[in-house]
Structure 1
């Protein structure tokens, strides 16, 4: 039977990042700022690395290239990139100390035709924390013609068209490809997305990087894929916690690319919680709070806030003990 293993993330020092991932999630990464950690990634722009077990020191990409059965038999798990050891998804922590750029992601179809066969990017955000008054951009507050948007972007007054939405801890947002969006300052999120790093930056507040250079914009491609119609205001989905002995679960998001559940474990009274993956899909547990242990066969892993556990398809049965919260991600 297949055994789970912990992952060490790749890090990104984008100019809008902060230091919360080191301070609150004990990442111990030498990056200033630390904007993103790619916790579960086979993308060549940021590979996560196995940090426990027999594959210690290998990239997740290497492991999946050697063990394709770890992906499972679900159609997404066996999509065209799996032969090269690629996951269909990518999981991140994002610390927005400053506003992210106003951006948009392409669909699979557009990316396949215009970006050498790459995937597009639909994503989901789970808000881990948000400062008082924090917000994010979700689509447009009014419909606008492409020509008008081009003028607004050129003049730097595009914000008048953006729909800004207040955000608080525990909120969920689904961002379909083509939606203009941006995470606002003071927001800390976990992001689950397609396995893509395609971002078309439309507006960046006229900022410069540490070398004094403005970051590249992608106006033409961005407007090719952007939905310029008035967006509906995002509403938080109906979420129902389902309780069993020692654990509660709720569905956060489901789309054709992934499913995400929140799992709350509390076995301080010694309840037994068992957990495994079936043959259909791998699973990823991203610990967003608390600590505990995961035991299987004769082994035991210590789990802390910020840790990411990869569980191959058709895994051994595991026992969870402690007080912790996970995002449980699968295809």
Structure 2
């Protein structure tokens, strides 16, 4: 992999103060009395559960795609030598040629974009082979363990013990980068973007659809992210109780960090990251589709996808109105974009709602905003086209720039605005935009982050040495040319409205534009600020101050500590809550930004 040397600005220049208390491995408590089983104890426990039901127990071990089914099956055979261990994928999955033909239209020829699929897992299995396997299982004369994605299908929902081996998207991505192929494919050395596309548009949609049928029945959940020796497991009842309890109090997902060609140096110092890494570009601080939850008991953890909570407890987490609007999807995303000492983000545009629905099968699009968590004196944001720009000329220059010999003059066509700490720029879909160098952006947006049409990438290649894909044709069909200098100044820049001022407290609306469905409120306070979810999920970040506590006015949950720059979720079911100065705080004042879906609060009725 090609690496990018850090820019010439020393890392110590970004050590603004002592703020390394950011917690990188937050946990969610399992219920009292829970036990985290480790390694082979999961398989012996599964047999104990199954063995109480029949003389010839049947265990189904359903493995999320990306798990090493062969290795799991081999380990179970070692631990349970008296059982028949059957790899259901080898026994009954459809031939890869059949699968490829089935999903081809969803994958498309594009390197990045496909079409959202609606497959069910049984479509990836050969009906005759699956029937033969089901018959063989029904006639078993000894203990039997079915292993693989679809084990529950082969068991005909009649397993005496059901185990789910679950994986988070971030772990799957690391495996894809390391050469792991997609499910049943022989594409280990294929372009990682194409492998990710196959997962995003087909495998993970199908897998989540299947997994939702298992949650209420599983006897054990096994952490598929860890090695077989270290993997934790938790009983199904404790897993379900932990998720139920999580909707009754604030919590954080596990953030992850990734380098990039434009990445910066701010997160290394402020969030206490590995200083030997050349840069960090992204932090997904609250993207439940990608992030994990760590369920903890007795000092041991089980890592599960945060989507398990979204899929299994959507009403309690999101609120009835948000769930009615989006279904079991988490519609708000908070992430970090670090260009401090780095470079400009790619010049880009996001698709309009009609376009993303018609072209890619998504129900809503990536409206977004840039909240400046920090910024150097020369920081800027590129936003909207300049007044009287000739669209044909701009598009011609963008296309000419793809040959690498004709750099695109961005400032000829795109507005450039100075960016200061705590500025908030709204970016409704269809608006040309990017953050410049020397900024630390908290991106508050709708969730479909993959749908970015790069227009110009400043002549760079990716960390793999391959030019990053641009999508000018897609972009040309979505750029809103009337979002010119005057429109952007009126609608997207400096849109702060003071809503309330009391001694020691100011509440402001900082965006977003009326075209976007996310409302953002900022609270400045000295001691405390009262909030209420009013029936919809709240997502917040501590943008100023070192440490606060989130408390319940009725002691419904224990005080929850939040540090500078940490994003946290307050489920809809929580209701009233207060954010107050922590006893350990040394700051004089504090600031939070809070996002929620407009029109879903009870007071909006």
Under a length normalisation based on structure 1, what TM-score does the superposition of the two structures give? 0.87
Is the 1:120–1:194 Cα contact (8 Å) retained in structure 2? yes
Query: 1:48 aligned to 2:295?
Result: no
C-alpha displacement at 1:164, in angstroms? 1.2
- In structure 2, distance between residues paired with 1:94 and 1:121: 16
Which residue number in structure 2 is paired with residue 91 of structure 1? 334
Higher strand content, 1 or 2:
1
Determine helix, strand or coil for the equivalent of 1:169. coil
In structure 1, distance between residues paired with 2:414 and 2:462: 24
What RMSD, in angstroms, separates the aligned Cα atoms of the two structures? 2.6
Q: Per chain length, whose mean CA-contact separation is higher, i.e. which structure has more relative contact order (CA < 8 Å, sep 6+)?
A: 1
Gaps of 5+ in 1: none
- Deviation of 1:15 after TM superposition, in Å, equals 1.2
1:246–1:62 CA distance, 2 compared to 1 (3 A): farther
Residues 43-99 of structure 1: per-residue CA shift (max 9 Å, x gap): 3xxx2233578997433311111111211123x44324x23xx11121112112211
Report what 2:559 is aligned to. Answer: 300
What is the number of residues matched between the two proteins? Answer: 319
Secondary structure in structure 1 of the residue aligned to 2:524: strand
The answer for the alignment partner of 1:258 in structure 2 is: 518
Residue matched to 1:116: 361
Query: Closer, same or farther in 2 for the Cα pair 1:305/1:107, shift >3 Å?
Result: same
1:134 and 2:379 matched: yes
Asked if structure 1 preserves the Cα contact closer than 8 Å seen for 2:350 and 2:429, the reply is yes
TM, length-normalised to structure 2: 0.49
| Partner residue of 1:311 out of 528, 547, 570 | 570
Alignment of 1:1-331 (within 5 A): 2-26=248-272, 32-43=278-289, 47-51=290-294, 57-69=303-315, 70-74=317-321, 76-80=322-326, 82-83=327-328, 86-96=329-339, 97-117=342-362, 119-153=364-398, 154=400, 155-159=406-410, 160-197=412-449, 198-229=451-482, 230-232=484-486, 233-234=488-489, 235-240=493-498, 242-244=500-502, 246-254=504-512, 255=514, 256-267=516-527, 273-279=529-535, 281-290=536-545, 291-296=547-552, 297=555, 299-315=558-574, 317-322=576-581, 323-331=589-597
Contact 2:496 2:511 in 1 (8 A): no
1 CA distance for matches of 2:323 and 2:263? 32
Structure number, greater radius of gyration: 2
Inter-CA distance 275–147: structure 2 relative to 1 (3 Å threshold): closer
Structure 2 residue runs of 5 or longer lacking an equivalent are 1-246, 401-405, 582-588, 598-605
User: Would the aligned equivalents of 1:128 and 1:170 in 2 still touch at CA under 8 Å?
Assistant: yes
